[in-house]
Amino acid sequence: MAQPQKTRPAASLLARAVPFASTVRDYRPAWLKRDLVGALTITALLIPEGMAYAELAGLPPTAAFYAAPAGLVLYGLFGSSRQLVVAVSAAVAVLSAATVGALAQAGSPRFVVLTAALALMAGLISLLAGVLRLGRVAQFFSASVLTGFVFGLALVIAIKQVPKLFGLEAGEGNFFERLWFLATHLGGTHLVTLLVGAGSLLVLLGLERVSERLPAALVVLALAIGVTALLGLDGRGVHVVGKVQAGLAAPRLPDVGWKDLLGLLPGACGIALVAFAEAIGPARMLAARHGYEVNASRELVGLGAANMGAGLFQGFSIGCSLSKSAANDAAGARTQVSSILAAVLTLLVALFLTPLFRLLPEATLGAIVVVAVSGMMDVREMRRLYRLRRADFIGAAVALVGVLALDVLPGLLLAVGVSLFLTVYRASVPRLSELGRAPGTLAFSDVRHSPRPLTVPGMLLLRPNEGIFFANATSLRDEVIERLRRAPGRVQAVLLDLEVTADLDVPGADMLVSLHDELARRGVTLEFARIMAPTRRMLDSTGVTAKVGEAHLHAQVLDAVVGHLTHSSSVTSEEHELLHDGLRRLRGLVEEADSMLDEKETADRQRLQELGQRLRRAESELEGPGGAPH
């Protein structure tokens, strides 16, 4: 009996470190058929897209066979999603090419080595972020800004591939410069290449309309190779992939120096961020669909391990593929076994079938990429942002235009900067709700959400709807003073309801002291209600409690209101009704609590009885002769 208890913690630790261990432990033989179908689907999509994306990364098409299997296996072992496919990503491939292209000539041996080193660095950064549990960092990268960045990135990818469809050399520079170069060189279009490219596009789009489960890219790849061989198109000026070396690369560390690593660092950070932002959404969507949870930090570990494996095998940086993940899920895959089987199938293709790709037209690879990235151009989401919130749309538009005008890496930095700016700006804008009493109740809520709210004469009730910290402290203070200035009558007290203020830092506490002093100069008292425990500790330790006074700290908003009206010099009939009703209900609650206490709880009983006596005295003081307000 003792042995299982000893092994259970070890098994739990292994499952946390390697989520695939729990999959193996609970695996059912009936799932194997579905996982195998998912693996075949992944492989059918991966081979053509992987070869195309390897060219996006500036490498020979065979580099996909070095990067993808390592990514599939290592993410399958360490990632927390059971259906997500991490193999090749157009966005990550372009970021890789842009980073390494600034340091080495594309196609050179140095370019290949730096690309592998970049994948290793991006993987290490992601792995460390996961170990340090920094998965929540993704919350600071605005989804709206990411939509614009990915849209722009898709256009950049497309403009680099479109010249292949016309048999033209690609231009240099940003998106607009490349577009202008293409437009001014259309006269040099190679007709046969255009027919191959256009035909590949039409067949791809047609097959996708026929069935989403059909591996359209693989079918087009096979047809293009067959037609090229049959008609001898390579001899008619159609550029083909050429000789493809079979086999696999041995794992090794790239031979690079510290200067190279420093040059790659910004791009590695960008790749780690984009790969994670690209993966976490689909991972959570698939998990919700199948009733399990994904861990953001665990996803960082899985992506990091996948990229480190791709770099060790002389591949390129990789990321999640939404299309292959969706196809894997649609095929019925139940676990990460589908990704591991897909890695095995991809290795078999690399070892025995690569010579078949010698006659693959470059125009067909370009068409495959253009169709693949067209799904990244989310026009519907951009329209939705424009319709719902212009600020989100502007953030997305700035990121989109930034990628087009500045190129990929500067565009990424701009997108990150816009996200941080929006975060800081929103944090710095004070969000205050003015509270009023709902007619016929003792509940105090936002006056904007209550029909005919009843405000408390002589008292301004405000609720900060967030933490009070350095970024918003000053603007919050200014907003309180402005609300006080706009108040219709003379205000004797300002009450801050701190119900949702769980975060109060030292600058925020200092601001409250400053606010107290400013209000005191105006003859206004500052009071607090519903203070959370961490906030109360900060108020005590920074001297705010001593400054404001314990008498002005209240358990409930109603306590503060009753105390204010009890000592008010003029009480209207409406105020009298509120006071009388409030005191009566409070006394009823106290008496009810008193009756429920155990006889042994004498201290609590004594405190409640004293509170009840005070409430009764307040009621009698409130009423004059005949029960009228005095």
Asked if 457 and 578 sit in the same domain, the reply is yes
Q: Which of 8-12, 139-143, 158-162, 177-181 has the lowest mean pLDDT?
A: 8-12
Q: Of 57, 364, 64, which is closest to residue 241 (Cα–Cα)? A: 364
Model pLDDT for residues 600-616, shown as the tens digit of each residue:
566 666 655 665 666 56
Asked if 375 and 472 sit in the same domain, the reply is no
* Domain final residue pick, 393, 423, 453: 423
For residue 1, is it within any domain? no
* Domain final residue pick, 423, 454, 476: 423
Asked if 369 and 468 sit in the same domain, the reply is no
For residue 32, is it within any domain? no
For residue 549, is it within any domain? yes
Q: What is the pLDDT of residue 1?
A: 40
Number of domains in the chain: 2
> Across residues 115-141, what is the average pLDDT?
87
* Widest pairwise Cα distance in the chain: 112
Query: CB-based contacts of 19: which residues, under 8 Å, 6+ apart?
Result: 77, 78, 79, 80, 298, 336
Please check whether residue 303 is in contact with residue 86, taking contact to mean a CB–CB distance below 8 angstroms: yes
How many other C-beta atoms lie within 10 A of the C-beta of residue 262? 9
For residue 92, is it within any domain? yes
CA distance 348 to 326: 24
Asked if 237 and 301 sit in the same domain, the reply is yes
Asked if 371 and 497 sit in the same domain, the reply is no
For residue 184, is it within any domain? yes
At residue 157, what is the residue type? I
Asked if 441 and 406 sit in the same domain, the reply is no
Domain that holds residue 92: 45-423
* Domain final residue pick, 369, 403, 423: 423
Phi-psi region of 406 (alpha: psi -120 to 50; beta: other; left: phi over 0): alpha
Please check whether residue 553 is in contact with residue 527, taking contact to mean a CB–CB distance below 8 angstroms: yes
Using pLDDT thresholds of 50, 70 and 90, give the confidence band for residue 597: low
Model pLDDT for residues 260-319, shown as the tens digit of each residue:
999 999 999 989 988 998 888 788 888 888 888 888 889 999 999 999 999 999 999 999
Using pLDDT thresholds of 50, 70 and 90, give the confidence band for residue 590: low
Alpha helices in 252-295 (DSSP H): 258-290
Is the per-residue pLDDT at 105 higher than 80? yes
Model pLDDT for residues 551-585, shown as the tens digit of each residue:
999 988 888 887 887 776 555 666 566 666 656 66
CA distance 616 to 630: 16
Is the per-residue pLDDT at 464 higher than 50? yes
Q: What is the pLDDT of residue 273?
A: 87
Asked if 364 and 465 sit in the same domain, the reply is no
Q: Which two tokens stand for residue 470?
A: 């350095």
Q: What is the pLDDT of residue 629?
A: 44
How many other C-beta atoms lie within 10 A of the C-beta of residue 610? 11
Asked if 309 and 271 sit in the same domain, the reply is yes
For residue 60, is it within any domain? yes
Is the per-residue pLDDT at 454 higher than 80? no
CATH number at residue 561: 3.30.750.24
Model pLDDT for residues 526-560, shown as the tens digit of each residue:
999 999 999 999 999 999 999 999 999 998 888 88
Phi-psi region of 407 (alpha: psi -120 to 50; beta: other; left: phi over 0): left
Q: What is the pLDDT of residue 608?
A: 57
Asked if 453 and 412 sit in the same domain, the reply is no
Asked if 180 and 223 sit in the same domain, the reply is yes
Please check whether residue 338 is in contact with residue 328, taking contact to mean a CB–CB distance below 8 angstroms: yes
For residue 235, is it within any domain? yes
At residue 34, what is the residue type? R
Q: Of 566, 586, 563, 582, which is closest to residue 630 (Cα–Cα)? A: 566
Asked if 391 and 527 sit in the same domain, the reply is no
Q: Which of 221-225, 257-261, 272-276, 323-327 has the lowest mean pLDDT?
A: 323-327
Is the per-residue pLDDT at 157 higher than 90? no
Alpha helices in 27-62 (DSSP H): 31-56
> Across residues 96-103, what is the average pLDDT?
92
For residue 2, is it within any domain? no
Asked if 184 and 146 sit in the same domain, the reply is yes
Q: What is the pLDDT of residue 4?
A: 44
Model pLDDT for residues 42-97, shown as the tens digit of each residue:
998 888 889 989 988 999 888 998 899 999 999 999 998 999 999 988 889 989 99
CA distance 307 to 313: 10
